[in-house]
Each structure stands twice: as C-alpha cells, then as structure tokens.
Chains A and B, each alone.
Chain A
Amino acid sequence: MDGGLLAQAVLNGLLLGGIYALVALGFSLVWGVMNVINVSHGAFVMLGAFTTYWLFVRVGLDPFLGAPVAMALMFVLGYLLQKYVINLIVRAPMFMTLILTFGINLVIVNLGIVAWTGDVRSITTGLSGQGVVLGPFVVPYVRAATLLIALLATTALFVFMDRTRTGSAIRATRMDLLAAEGVGIRIDRIYALTFAIGAALAGLAGALISVTLPITPFMGFTYTGKAFVVTALGGLGNMAGALVGGLVLGVAETVGAALLGPGYQDAIGYALLVLILVLRPSGLLGRVGYA
C-alpha cells in the first residue's frame, strides 16, 4: 500500500466520518439526556433524505436548501412522537423504550416502502461527483460540504447547550432529573424538545446523505448501527464526542479497508467498539459518571 493511496483513504475516511458524526449527534443527545436508545433514529434519517429528495424532484429545490425544510419537518414529527408516544414509557426500563422505538422504526420504514416502493434513488445535481483535484488528491465538493455542515451543526448544538437557558435546562435534566424537576423545569417539555432536536439532526444528516449516497426506505438501520458505535466511541451525550467518534470510525473503516481489504470494513468498526468498551468504557471524550 503506497503512501498516496493511504493518504487519500484517510481523506475519504474523514469525509465519510462527517456523515457518521452528524447521524450520531442527535442519537447521542437523546440517549444521553433521556436514556432512550432510539432505534428509530435511522428512520428519521431516511425521512430526512426522502423529504430532500422529493423537494428536489417535485419542486426543484436544491438539496442544500431542502435540508432546513427536512430539519423543520423532522423537528415537528419528533416533538409530537415524543410528546404523545414515547413519553408514555420514558421512565419505564430501557428495554421498553427499545421495543417501542423498534416498533416505530418498523412502522416508518414499511410506510416508506408502501408510499415510495423499495426502489433505490439518488439525487444527481450538477455538483454530484464533481470535486477539486489537489495534487494527488480528489476532494468531492458535496462530501466536503457535508463535513463542513457536520462541524457547524456540532458547534451550533454546543453553543445552544452551553449558552442558552433551554440548553442549561436540558443539561440539568440529564444530570439530575429530580433536582431539575424541583427547580421548576418542565421535564416533559424538555424531553420533547430534546427528541425533536435529535430528530431534526437526523433529518439534516438524511438530507446530506441523499446528495452523496443512494437512498431507499430501509437505508436507516445501517445508520442507527453506525450511530451506536460512534456514540460508544465518542462518549455518551457528548457533542464533541460524536464528532470525534464519527471521524475516527470513518477513518478506521477506510484505512482498515485499504490495509486489510474491504471485507474487513465493518469488522474494524466493531472491533474498535469492543476495544473502547474494554479500555475506556466512558468513550474517547466521555467523563466517568457523566453519562
């Protein structure tokens, strides 16, 4: 394996990792704050992707302009779903939330198949596949933009959580539920808001995926799996952790594939997960007991 190829593999890994990070951001937030492993997260990614796709095909809206629409729709859907459905069992054992979100995932995915068939789709714009050639490297514009947006979204979420009253309330709820309730925080609203933000971020990730990768109604589960690995890698409920975890997973997959062969791509991700769980159970950037 020569150096140039390896360097391009690292670059591709970072670009892929941007997508993983964005998918994991909302997943990690919901898990960290509500202790809900949202198995239907990938379904929101799928809905975001299809929203962007249909806006592009039917209205001719550029996918990067469709992304905010997808985010808004997913925000509303996430809010309602949390308020009226998931809230019913949010304090039940984690196993119940797994069953419920798994069921929601099944429903959304199969409704997607009924509505849109299982066909593979993809958004092809003038920019698709175009890129800038820097010496021996090729940087596709769309993937670079995805990484950039992932960085921006992470920063924005960080600022929101750190600098706003609502953000502080979410953090307080995560740290101590009873104390938060005691100082007058409306837990159910915070939960609905958190879930809505998670869903909106999933919608954004889906919108960006629809420009780079083929989409189908059953695309989501792969991304739920990646989000799980990234969250464990980076540290639960930690925004910077999701970003770092996503980039680490992306690079590990592409470089691992370059060194050992693409057959090992998935194995490498999960080997990394096991390694982290053994050596640093709270994740790369997680703090012990904080989750």
Chain B
Amino acid sequence: MRTRAGYLGSGLALVVALLLAACGGGASAPRAGGSSTAPQPQGTETLLVGAALPLTGDLAREGKQQKDGYDLWAETVNAKGGIEAGGKRYLVEMRYYDYKSDNTQAVKLVEKLITEDRAQFIFGPFGSGATLAASAVTDKYEIPMLSPSASSESVYQQGRRYLFGLLAPNAAVGQATIDLLFTLPTPPQTLAIISRNDLFPKAVAQAIESAARARGMETVYFEEYPIGSTDLSTPLLAAKARNPDILVGTGYTNDLVLMTRQMKELRFSPKATVQTAGPTYASYGEALGADANYVVSPTWWAPGSPYTDNGKLFGTAADYARLFQDKYKYDVDYIAAASAGCGAVLQAAIEAAGTTDPVRVRDALARLEVNTFYGPIKFNENGQNIGTGIAIIQIQNGQQIAVAPPEAATGRLIYPMPEWDRR
C-alpha cells in the first residue's frame, strides 16, 4: 500500500507536469520574437523594442492582436532595410514577455525589459489600466512607450512625459457618434445607456452621454452592470420601459453579444443600437449572425479609412488590412492596426530625431506630424493622438459598412432600424 506522502508526491508531480505541458503548448515567458530577427548585413545595428503583453489568460486574444501588429511592422520595416537615422541603419528586434492578463505582472515585466534586456523603446500592454500602470516605469527610466490600446483621457492626464497613445481620446468617440445621429432628418431626442462597470466602457459611455447632452438630448436611463454578467435582462427591461430613441451599450464582445441576443429575446427595438467595443470584431458578427444587423459602432480605425503613408511603409489602410489578413488569417481591427501604427510612428520619430537616443526621440514624438496608414498623427500636450478622426460602422447584411466620416463612408446609415418582429 502506498503512503499518503506517496499520493501527495505523485499528485504534485502531476500538477507540475500538466502545467509544464500547458505552457509548452502556448505562449510562455520569457520568449524572444524570433521571426523578426533577420540576419544582419554589414554596418547595421539592432534596435530592441520590448512589449509586455497578455498572451495567455482572459486577454489572450487582444494580446495576440497587438503582437501580430507589432511583428508585422518589424518584419515590414526590416524587409525594407530597417530604420535609417544619423547615417546608421537599424534592424528592429522585438522582445515579448507574457503578463498572463495580470496588470501587476505587466509593470514588472516592462521594468525587466528596460533594466535587464536593455530595450530602447517600449510598446504598450493591452488597455488603459495596464498602460497607466506601466507608464510609471517608462517615465522613471525615460524610455518612450507607444500605446495602441489606451484611449481613456485619464491615462494621459497623469503628467507622464514618455507616454504616447495612438487612439483618439474617448471624448472624440462620443462626439463623432452623436454628430452622425444629428445628420439625420429627424435626430433622436432620448437615449438610454447600459455600461459595463469597467474603466474603458464607462469612460466611453460618459463621453457619449456628455456629447448627447450638449446637443440637448435627454438621457432617460443610465445603468452599470458588473464585469462577468451572465444576464442583462433587467437593465434592458428597465431601459425598454422608458422607450428611448437610442440604446447605447458599452462593454466587450461577450457582453455585447449577450446584450444584443437578450434585446431580441425581450423584443427591445430602439431606433438605433450603438455599441462599443465589439461589433467591429469579426467574432461579434459570427456569433450573432443576422441578429447583428443594424448595430452601429464607433471605432478608431477601419480598413476603409481614407489614410495612406504614401507608399513609405504599408501604403493605405486597405493595403495594411490585406497584408494582415494574408499573413495572420483573421480580420484586422483597430487595435491590430494601431499596434503596427506604433511602429510606424516610432520609426518616423527616430528618423526625425536622427538618433535612437530615447530622450531625443521622445522630443521628436512630441513634435511629430506624420501621415501613416493608421491616420494622420499629432499628439496633444498629454501625449494622446488627436490627428486621427473616428470612423463609424453599421453592420448591414453581415458586412461592416462605414457610415462616417463622409469621406470614408461606403454606405448610408439605416435609421430607424427595423423592429425585431419585422426582420
């Protein structure tokens, strides 16, 4: 008969073995981005750019998008001979650590990238929370950090000198959404808002509410639901009872899929449903099928956006979308675009500074005005990009149709949307 210690020992050994097996199958830290390290021709130097990303855990999908965007930039720029500055050529090497969707780990790993790996520049982790936390470290070491996924103004209002974000402020999202609704012959008068109780969804909800108030619209219902909700019927019913013209729902894809599904179950048909951030992801449309139709969503970037870098790197927004789709076999969205955009911006700043010295590149970033496939870039005094406008899409017949801004629109907004019973 085996002793208890024997049982315990084999159990523990098993856990360890299983965990190792799990790590081996997925992304594990530390790991260097091997694919972007090209063989070095004579007379070139290596530029090391580091990023801590959530490659496993709840945010694994978002982390992968950012990594794919960063990698695509590094590969593209290396294939074109690297970055030229001050008479030298630099080939880019990316180095990643997995912070396992745990923001406190992100901060430690960014510090490790700077102090141990000697990363010269940092690309952001996912989301406003992790970016805000990591920006304390990058400021401490005076290393510029470019973020493709933090849009909340509060992140940039902490007086950080070395943080630059490509996403336009949330206020611009609210403004663009309400502006679009007011181009209609009979603009809506009332709105109801159901927001996930989370930093970014709440910030967007408040931005839309204040833009609506400025236009004289009345918010008849504003409620927050907890993270991880499995049922939204109660706030939806309460909103339905107030009969708003517009329903605004903020959260992430799983929340918004649930919200749309339950709107149908409860026969809740406002004149328009505005949701962010979810409908721009292909998985939203795949999950809901025809029920996703008519949902409106503001987004920071769309493949149809009228932007180009004039052949310098990727070409137009559409060119980038095609390249990304060919390589990674899934549809690009604004985060993956902004991620490669971080690279394009860093490259422009290094070239403008004529050096890779972090402090001088930082000053070049602050002054930078450049056209990229992601959009025109110009940072405000807080380091947030105010050069690129907001695009708005509506799902029509399962396709994301750009309905704003006018110069990028590929279709017209369908308003009011048909009621559930008449589809």
Task: List A residues 196-245 near B (Cβ within 8 Å).
Answer: 212-214, 216, 218-219, 222, 226
Cβ proximity bits B244-268 to A, threshold 8 Å, 1 near / 0 not: 0000000001100110010011110
Report whether B237 and A103 are in contact in the complex, using a CB–CB cutoff of 8 Å: no
Question: Which chain B residue lies CB-closest to A9?
Answer: B234
Measured as residues with beta carbon below 8 angstroms from the partner, the interface class of chain B is: 35 or more
Cβ–Cβ < 8 Å partners of A88 in chain B: 7, 10-11, 14
**Cα-based distance from A262 to B232 in the complex (angstroms):** 8
Q: Is B283 an interface residue (CB 8 A)?
A: yes
Contact digits for A97-124, partner B, Cβ 8 Å, 1 yes 0 no: 0011001101100110110011111101
Complex Cα spacing A61 to B115, Å:
54
Report A48 CB to chain B, min CB distance, Å: 16
B-side contacts of A258, CB under 8 Å: 234, 237-238
Whether A119 touches B234, Cβ cut-off 8 Å, given contacts A128-B291, A133-B267, is: no
Beta-carbon contact of A100 and B14 below 8 Å? yes
Please pick, from B228, B230, B264, B287, the residue contacting A120 in the complex, using a CB distance under 8 A. Answer: B287
Q: Does B15 contact A (CB under 8 A)?
A: yes
State whether the Cβ of A247 lies closer than 8 Å to any Cβ in chain B: no
Q: How close is B13's CB to chain A, nearest CB, in angstroms?
A: 10
Q: Is there contact, CB below 8 Å, between B265 and A122?
A: no
Q: Give the residues in chain B near A129, CB-CB below 8 Å.
A: 261, 264-265, 291, 420
Whole-angstrom distance between the alpha carbons of A104 and B229 in the complex?
25
CA of A110 to CA of B262, assembled, Å: 29
**B45 CB within 8 Å of chain A:** no
B6-23 to A contact mask, C-beta < 8 Å, 1/0:
011011001100110110
Determine whether the beta carbon of B287 is less than 8 Å from that of A265: no
Quick one: which of A67-117 are within 8 Å of B by CB? 85, 88-89, 91-92, 96, 99-100, 103-104, 106-107, 110-111, 113-114, 117
Residue numbers in B under 8 Å from A118 (CB-CB):
58-62
A117 with B231: CB separation less than 8 A: no
- Chain A residues with Cβ below 8 Å from B223 are 261-263
**Does the CB pair B18–A257 fall under 8 Å?**
no
Q: Could you tell me if A92 and B8 are in contact, using CB atoms closer than 8 angstroms? A: yes
A89, A117, A216: the one within 8 Å of B64 (CB) = A117
Q: CA A128 – CA B226 in complex, angstroms?
A: 24
Contacts of B39 in A (CB 8 A): none
Q: Is the CB of B254 within 8 A of A96?
A: no
Q: Is the CB of A262 within 8 A of B235?
A: yes
Question: What CA separation (Å) do A226 and B265 show in the bound complex?
Answer: 23
CB within 8 Å for A263 and B197 given contacts A120-B254, A213-B230: yes
Instruction: Kindly identify which residue among B18, B19, B234 contacts A262, using a CB–CB cutoff of 8 Å.
Output: B234
Min Cβ gap B306→A in Å is: 29
B265 touches A92 (CB 8 A): no
Q: Jot down 23 A-B pairs with beta carbons below 8 A, ordered by A.
A: A5-B241, A9-B234, A19-B230, A103-B15, A110-B26, A113-B56, A118-B59, A120-B254, A120-B284, A128-B264, A128-B289, A138-B267, A143-B265, A212-B261, A219-B254, A222-B230, A226-B230, A257-B231, A262-B232, A262-B235, A265-B225, A265-B229, A265-B234
Instruction: List 20 additional contacts besides A9-B234, A113-B56; criterion CB under 8 Å.
Output: A2-B241, A9-B233, A88-B7, A103-B14, A103-B18, A106-B18, A110-B26, A111-B25, A113-B26, A118-B60, A118-B61, A119-B283, A122-B257, A122-B287, A124-B291, A213-B261, A214-B258, A219-B254, A258-B237, A263-B197
Residues of chain A touching chain B, judged by Cβ–Cβ distance below 8 Å, are: 2, 5, 8-9, 12, 16, 19, 85, 88-89, 91-92, 96, 99-100, 103-104, 106-107, 110-111, 113-114, 117-122, 124, 128-129, 131, 133, 138, 140, 143, 212-214, 216, 218-219, 222, 226, 253-254, 257-258, 261-263, 265-266
| Pairs A-B, 3 closest by C-beta atoms | A129-B264, A118-B61, A122-B287
